Amino acid sequence: MGISHLISIVGAGPGDPELLTVKAVNRLKNADVILYDALAGNEILDLAKPGAEKIYVGKLHNDGQNQVERQNSIHAKFLKFSKQNKTVLRLKSGDPMVFGRGAEEVRFCRENNLNYEVIPGVTAGIAASAFFDIPLTERGKSSSLLFCSGQRENGCFSNMDSIAHILNSGSSAVIYMGLNILADLACALIKNSVESSTPVQILSNISRINQSICSTTLGNVSTFLEQNEPDSPATIIIGKHATQI
């Protein structure tokens, strides 16, 4: 399939340009317009062809944006540039289909008969596991894995039963966008009979030169966060076996 009139929804991975797929790099080098997220670094954007139009459409925590309006604006750009016969690359951090609102953009493309493709990227939880030697699954120890968002609904953790069940089975949970609610989450998990000694890994700036790891336990999360300020963006891995090899 040619790339003319194509909208490529591309996962940029956690930040290191060497973790881009070959297909993602090829699309970057051919795109007329790049709509990029907050975490897409200059090293990745520098792979674009000369003259490519680069438009920031990202969000940061507490930046005051209305997320419905923001997403609608991205969709409007899809339509605008498609009508201009331009090749559009929607560059998203991590993987488009893992807490990346990729489903909304795919659905919009389909509803409006736009030619699109989705190119996967390395999601932060997988990258964090690899860079810091923390196995997410291991034979005889953990046979399942839960990815979940740190977002709350009406002030409550709606998926608490699922997280507690996974952790009590010996498997791990990877929490995205959860640093700001980690203390409350730890308390809720303990109330749901998860052992307070369960390891908690806070992994910041994954794949970047300043990546770091902080280790604590569920029972000590509140005290740890009072004394330390892990960097954002951060991914959290919780689990009985979520320790470095």
Using CA atoms in the order 158, 144, 132, 9, what is the torsion angle rounded to 10 degrees?
Answer: -70
Q: Is the pLDDT of residue 61 over 90?
A: no
Tell me whether strands 145-149 and 199-204 are parallel, antiparallel or unpaired: unpaired
Q: Of the listed 59, 77, 86, 184, which one is catalytic?
A: 59
Q: Is the pLDDT of residue 3 over 80?
A: no
> What pLDDT, on the 0 to 100 scale, is given for residue 62?
61
> What pLDDT, on the 0 to 100 scale, is given for residue 41?
79
> What pLDDT, on the 0 to 100 scale, is given for residue 58?
86
Please check whether residue 21 is in contact with residue 121, taking contact to mean a CB–CB distance below 8 angstroms.
yes
Chain segment 88-102, per-residue pLDDT in tens:
999 999 999 999 899
Assign 195 a pLDDT band (cuts: 50, 70, 90).
Answer: very high
Alpha-carbon distances of 114 from 23, 51, 64, 85, rounded to whole Å: 20, 24, 30, 11
Domain with CATH 3.40.1010.10 in the chain: 7-122
Contacts of 48 (CB under 8 A, 6+ apart): 28, 29, 31, 34, 54
125-238 CATH choice from 3.20.20.60, 3.30.950.10, 3.10.129.10, 3.30.70.920: 3.30.950.10
> What pLDDT, on the 0 to 100 scale, is given for residue 1?
41
Please check whether residue 209 is in contact with residue 198, taking contact to mean a CB–CB distance below 8 angstroms.
no
Query: Among this protein's residues, is 46 annotated catalytic?
Result: no
pTM: 0.91
Domain with CATH 3.30.950.10 in the chain: 125-238
Q: Of the listed 16, 37, 92, 95, which one is catalytic?
A: 37
Query: Among this protein's residues, is 161 annotated catalytic?
Result: no
